[in-house]
Chain A
Amino acid sequence: MSSLKVKLSFSGGVELLFDNIKQKSIEISSSINPPNPTTMKDLILWMKDNLLKERPELFMSGDTVRPGILVLINDSDWELEGELEYEIEDGDDIVFISTLHGG
């Protein structure tokens, strides 16, 4: 099974939930849920289990990202990329920006 390299960036306060790290390169399986390819939904769950350090309810709401946190995939709004259904590709650059007051 191949793996995917993904660059994650956090800003606007989201970084506080991830050990104050602003950027992180990760490697994940291309198919977390075989036989389906890894999607944003899988990635977010993976981040929750592996990276998230504090208060999951401040990052997630249900199985998606909490409203008020912007997600850009390769500089493109994830709402145009299918949100949770987006299939992660090798080399993707994903940015999480909190637009909420005080992060």
Chain B
Amino acid sequence: MCNIQEEITLNFDVKIKPKSKNCVKCKTAKATILIRHSTYCRKCFQHVFVGKFRKNIEKSRNASNSGSGEKVMIGFSGGPSSRAMLQLISEYNEVLPQKQFYSEIVVCHIDESLLFNNQKSTIPQIEQIVRKYNYPFIGLYLQNIYNSDVTKSGCYNNVIEIAIDDAKILQQEDSIFSPSEKLLNLLNNISKLTAKEDFIWYLKLCYLIDTARKNGCTRLFLGDCSTRLSIKIISLTSKGRGFSLPLETSGETDWFKDVIITRPMKDMLSKEIGIYNQFAGLEDIYIQSVTSMMHAKASIERLTEDFIVRLEKEFPSTVSTIARTGAKLTPSDYILEENRCIICLMPYQENNKIWQNRIIVMTIPSLQQSNGCSNIQQLHCSKNSKNPYDCSNVSNDESMTNIEFTDLLCYGCRVNMRDIKVANNKTILPPYVAEGVEEKKKKDNRKQMRKHIEEYLLCNEEEL
């Protein structure tokens, strides 16, 4: 007979507690650390931990075949994982002083203190740590993503203003709003924490990539550990970012062409990192996030974290199983380089809006206008923009200058845009987004023009 009592005792049997208290590696020392089902002594734990890191970093170095002389950037948030990464990379690069694997290592930190009322900047603390390693340090403020030089061209000063039924490109006038005000307005106008977190992360990522590129770094190290990656795999799936998931969670991706993203911490659990930092005496900086001190259901990311770490507690293979499953995913064949979301810079699926319109009712049919997209934000070009990308030069045909802003967004970012409420304070997207729109528009115009004159062309092989 089955009764509740029996089930409970069964549960106790399932949970495997290691019987031997000796280290599984050296077999002699007393084990003091439990990682998944294996017990280690302190010495062997450190050896295995460093070994995992070396294996990953070596693999990526061999794959790129760049030999020595690569200039790299470390994205350093100050959190435990990137703190450990900084230490491990520096140890790795200094193994043989005469032959360094990386010619130059730059450490970059983005300060988000603006988002938290009356909080001190994190830059001085971070700089103090980086100084110990003698690496050049770049401290950025997230709000400066609104600077005109955080763009491909390096001097693009148009922004996108979001209104109820349209989005337009405007020339940025610095006198009205400071970058800090623009960023705060944008984030304050986002009603949901999930979308807010998303925006912050992608703004940071874009800023890091841009900074790496402008500093001549061909590689950007991010500190995502396996616990974080498995949380990301589940949360990205929940947010409808499955198309770009393999790029956003892989150990290495060349999606950004000249800047390769590498995640050398991808096989380490956050528990391992916490213990390593404690033993190595690496200082710990508390970096606040928008969901700090919030309840577990504050955002998708936060809820997923709660879910995963709780499962991991009872079933210590959860994280590695999810992370390894995620690692088996490969980018879709349908990923096209030109279909890059202008906000998150991740790929979007061709015609994803047609699909979305088919399954989601966004307006009451009777109110729908003949073009069927009455509520969808349209993009208008301001005629008075005085910059090299001035779109009024591209075409005189008014209908061709109107492209739908949301057409250039991935599904995830489009969902986020829906959470932006139009308030008194203007919602302004940074210049790199506006630059992306104009670039894409230019390309489309050229394609269209070519279509028009195709029959008169003598040679079809010519590049577009």
Per-residue CB proximity of A50-76 to B under 8 Å, as 1/0? 000011011001000001101010011
B34 pairs with A101, CB closer than 8 A? no
Whether B48 is near chain A, meaning CB under 8 Å from some CB there, is: no
A92 to chain B, nearest CB (A): 14
Q: How many residues of B contact A (CB 8 A)?
A: 37
Kindly list chain B residues whose C-beta atoms are within 8 Å of the C-beta of A12: 80, 274, 284, 286
Per-residue CB proximity of B53-73 to A under 8 Å, as 1/0? 000000000000000000000
Kindly list chain A residues whose C-beta atoms are within 8 Å of the C-beta of B279: 75
Whether B132 is near chain A, meaning CB under 8 Å from some CB there, is: no
Bound-complex Cα distance A54 to B32 (A): 31
B278 pairs with A101, CB closer than 8 A? no
Kindly list chain B residues whose C-beta atoms are within 8 Å of the C-beta of A70: 271, 274-275
B32 pairs with A75, CB closer than 8 A? yes
Whether B21 is near chain A, meaning CB under 8 Å from some CB there, is: yes
B289 pairs with A77, CB closer than 8 A? no
B313 pairs with A67, CB closer than 8 A? yes
Per-residue CB proximity of B278-290 to A under 8 Å, as 1/0? 1100001011111
Return the contact of B284 from the options A11, A68, A100 (Cβ within 8 A). Answer: A11
Q: A residues 66-102 with Cβ under 8 Å of B?
A: 67-68, 70, 72, 75-77, 79-80, 95, 97, 99-102
With contacts A11-B284, A13-B292, A54-B293 taken as known, whether A99 is within 8 angstroms of B32 at the C-beta atoms is no
A16 pairs with B271, CB closer than 8 A? no
Return the contact of A72 from the options B275, B288, B310 (Cβ within 8 A). Answer: B275
Whether A15 is near chain B, meaning CB under 8 Å from some CB there, is: yes
Closest chain B residue, CB of each to CB of A22: B284
Bound-complex Cα distance A78 to B309 (A): 17
Kindly list chain A residues whose C-beta atoms are within 8 Å of the C-beta of B31: 80
Bound-complex Cα distance A73 to B284 (A): 19
Interface-centre pick from B32, B227, B290, B310 (highest chain A CB count, 10 A): B32
B80 pairs with A99, CB closer than 8 A? yes
Per-residue CB proximity of B14-42 to A under 8 Å, as 1/0? 00001001000000000111100001001
Kindly list chain B residues whose C-beta atoms are within 8 Å of the C-beta of A55: 293
Q: Could you show 10 A-B contacts with beta carbons less than 8 Å apart?
A: A12-B286, A75-B279, A77-B32, A80-B34, A95-B278, A99-B80, A99-B273, A101-B302, A102-B287, A103-B286
Give A contacts to B, CB under 8 Å. 11-13, 15-16, 54-55, 57-58, 61, 67-68, 70, 72, 75-77, 79-80, 95, 97, 99-103
Give B contacts to A, CB under 8 Å. 18, 21, 31-34, 39, 42, 79-80, 227-228, 231, 270-271, 273-275, 278-279, 284, 286-293, 295, 301-302, 305, 309-310, 312-313
Task: Knowing that A80-B32, A100-B270 touch, tell me 4 more A-B residue pairs with CB under 8 angstroms.
Answer: A72-B275, A95-B278, A101-B231, A102-B291
4 A-B pairs with the lowest CB-CB distances in the bound complex, closest first: A102-B289, A99-B270, A76-B32, A102-B292
